[in-house]
Amino acid sequence: MSHEQASYLELLARGAATEAYDRPVLLARASGAGPEALAGLEEAKQLALRVRAELEGRRRREAELSALFETAHDLAGLRDLDAVLRAIVQRARSLLGTEVAYLSLNDPAAGDTYMRVTEGSVSARFQQLRLGMGEGLGGLVAQTARPYVTDDYFDDDRFQHTRTIDTAVRDEGLVAILGVPLTLGSQVIGVLFAADRRARVFEREQVALLGSFAAHAAVAIDTANLLAETRSALAELERANDIIREHSALIERASEVHDRLTELVLHGGGVHDVADAVAEVLGGTVAFTEEPPAPARLAGGHAVRDGDRWIAAVSAGGEVFGALVLSGQPDLDPVDQRTLERAALVTSLLLLARRSAGEAEQRVRGELLDDLIDAPDRDRRLLRERAARLRTDVDAPHVVLAARIDRAGTATEPAGGGRESADRQRLWSAASHLAATRHGLASARDGGTVLLLPLGPGDTAADLARQTARHLGGALREPVTVGASAPVEAPAAAPGAVALAYEEARRCLDALRLLGRSGDGAAAEDLGFLGLLLADTRDIEGFVARTIGEVVAYDNRRGTDLVRTMEAYFASGMSPARTKDDLHVHVNTVAQRIERIGRLLGPDWQSPARTLEIQLALRLHALSGAVAR
C-alpha cells in the first residue's frame, strides 16, 4: 500500500468531508505519477467513499434507533404529556433535518383540528392554526390514514386548499411538507408533520422514521388518556375507601391478573393464554368463543350473567370479535366482573394487533405486485429482496390472474355503488389470503383483483385459473370469474412482462364474461380462436394442434386424406353428395371418412361453434404448409 493510498485510511479515521478524498489523486497527478498509480489511487478513493457512505448510513441508523429508544424511555416514565410530545417533535425535526416539525390533534367536540406542538415555527398565526376536518394536507392524511408528502405545497392539488390554511403556511414560509397519521387502532387522532421552507424530496426511510415517531406520539397520548382514567378511578376509590378495604383481597387479585396479562402481552401470548390466566385467578374455566351469545352483544362491554355463567364481549370500535365465557363461578363480585371485562379488552387488543399485522402484510404484497406492473424499471435486486421477505420467488414461473366477482343486480338490490365497493374489498381480502398461503402476491386493481401465483409442477395457466375461481368463489360464496395469462417464466428478470401478462389476463376475463361463463376460470388456450386473438403471443401451432391435431396425426400415421375431406366437406356446405364430386370418390367413402373424423374430434364437431374453429384451424394449417413449402 502506497503512502497516498494509506492517506485514505486517515481520511476515514478522522471523518473527513467528501471533497477531501480528491486531494490524494490531485497531489499524485501534480507530482507526475504514472497512469497505473493514478488508477490505483482512483480505485482506493472509490472504495474509501463507499466505506464512508456505509459508515455514515450506520451512524444515521444508530442515531435514529437511539432517538426511538430515548422516546420509548420517555414514555416509560411519562409524567408530562406535553414534554414527551415536544421531545418527539424535536427529535423528528433533528433526524429528518427539516426546518420545522409540528403535531396536530383532532378535537372531536369542536369538529376540527388544532396545533398541539410546534418546533422551529416563527409564525404566531401558524402556531395557533385550527382547521376543519378534511382540509389541507393534514386533512388528507387524516381521511386516508396514510402518509402524504408534497414537494411544493402550493402547486399540489391533491388536497383541499383553503384561504386560512394557505395564509398560515405562507406566513410560515413552508414549501415541502411530509405528514404521517397518529392512529389508535383504526382511528386517526392527529397528524405528525416535518416541513422545509424550500423544495426537497423526502426519502422512504424518512417517511418510515417519522411514522415511528408518530406511533410513539400516539402511544403517549393513549397512555396519558389511560392515566387520566386511572386518576379518575383513584378518585372514585378514595370516595369509596371503606369498600376498598373490604375488598382489598379482590383488588390484589385483580392486580395479579393485570400483571399476568401485561406479562402475557409483552411475551407474545395469545388469546387462549389470556383465558387460562383469568381462569387461574378467578377460578372456574374461561373459554374464548368467536360466536358470542346474544346477552354479550347487548351488554355494551360489561360482563353479564347468563344462567350459571358470565360473558364479556370482546369488541373494539363497535365490532364484536367474540366473547370470554366464564363457567363454574355463578357469583362474581364487581371487582371480579371488572377483571373479566379487562381480560376481554386485552383479548380485543391482541386480535386487533394480529389483524393489523395481517393487513400490513397484505398491503406490502399488493405494493410489490403494483411495482412489478407499473414500474418495470425498478431495481431488480430490490424487488427480489422485497419478494424474499414475503417468501415469494419472483425468479420462478408465475401466472398473472385477473379476478372479479360477477353478480347481476336484482330489483331489490341493484349492483353498483356501496355493494360493489364491499365486493371488491371482500375479493381483495380473500385473494390476499390465497396469495399468502401460495407464496404469491395480490393487489386490488381496476375494480377487481390481480394475483401473481407460482405455477406448480404439471400445472397449466388454465388449471391455475380454474383452481383460483373455485377457491375464491367458495370463500366468498359468490361466483368469481378468473382470467389467466400465459406463464411468465421469471417476473423479476423480465421488465414489463408482468404488465403485459396482466393485460392478457384482463382480456381473457372480459371474454369469459361476454361468453356467459361467469364464475369460471380460463386462460387464452381454453377459448379457441378467441383465445388466439386475446393472447399476447399468437400460438397458432398450439391452436391448430388443439383443434384438429388428432386428424392431422391420423393422416400422418395412416396416409389417409381426412384433412382434405374436411376442407371439401365445409367448402360444399357440409353436403356429402357435393363433397364426393369434389373428391372424386364414392358417397359411402365420404360417409366413412366423416364418421372417422367424428370419432377423432368428438360427436359435436359439426356444431356451429366447433365448425367455426375447425375451419379456421384448417385455413391456418394450410397456410403453415404453404409457408413451409
- pLDDT of amino acid 96: 86
479-491 residue pLDDT tens = 999 988 888 888 8
- pLDDT of amino acid 273: 76
Return phi, psi of residue 255, to 5°: -65, -40
- pLDDT of amino acid 60: 58
- pLDDT of amino acid 626: 41
**What are the residues whose beta carbons fall under 8 Å from the beta carbon of 508, sequence distance 6 or more?**
402, 465, 483, 484, 485, 522, 523, 524, 527, 531, 534
- pLDDT of amino acid 627: 36
535-576 residue pLDDT tens = 445 555 666 677 778 888 888 888 888 888 888 888 888 888
Residue 521 pairs with which residues in a beta bridge? Answer: 482
Q: How many CB atoms lie within 10 A of CB 480?
A: 29
Nearest to 493 by CA among 569, 409, 385, 381: 381
Spatial separation of the C-alpha atoms in residues 212 and 68, rounded to whole Å: 8
* Cα-only R_g, the chain: 35
| 453: enclosing H helix or E strand | strand 448-454
- pLDDT of amino acid 55: 58
- pLDDT of amino acid 77: 60
496: left (phi over 0), alpha (psi -120 to 50) or beta: left
- pLDDT of amino acid 196: 94
- pLDDT of amino acid 166: 92
- pLDDT of amino acid 360: 59
Contacts 24+ apart (CB under 8 A), 361-365: 361/390, 361/436, 362/428, 362/429, 362/432, 362/436, 362/442, 364/390, 365/390, 365/392, 365/432, 365/435, 365/436, 365/441, 365/442, 365/443
Q: DSSP assignment, residue 487?
A: P
- pLDDT of amino acid 300: 60
**What are the residues whose beta carbons fall under 8 Å from the beta carbon of 512, sequence distance 6 or more?**
481, 483, 518, 520, 522, 527
- pLDDT of amino acid 417: 56
- pLDDT of amino acid 316: 67
When the pLDDT of each residue in the chain is averaged and rounded to a whole number, the result is 77
- pLDDT of amino acid 101: 94
| 310: enclosing H helix or E strand | strand 309-316
> How does strand 480-484 pair with strand 521-523?
parallel
Which portions of the chain are predicted below pLDDT 70? 1-6, 8-9, 11-13, 15, 25, 48-49, 51-79, 240-260, 263-269, 290-301, 316-319, 321, 350-362, 407-419, 495, 514-515, 524-544, 609, 612-613, 616, 619-621, 623-629
Q: What is the DSSP string of 553-579?
A: HHHHHH---HHHHHHHHHHTTS-HHHH
Q: Give the CA count within 13 Å in the CB-facing half-sphere of 446.
A: 17
- pLDDT of amino acid 168: 93
Residues in the chain: 629
- pLDDT of amino acid 242: 54
- pLDDT of amino acid 359: 55
Would you say 151 and 201 are in contact if contact means Cβ atoms under 8 Å apart? yes
Contacts 24+ apart (CB under 8 A), 468-474: 468/401, 468/403, 468/434, 468/521, 469/403, 469/519, 469/520, 469/521, 470/521, 471/434, 472/403, 472/427, 472/430, 472/431, 472/434, 473/519
503-526 CB burial, b ≥16 within 10 A, e <16: bbbbbbbebbeeeebbbbbbbbbb
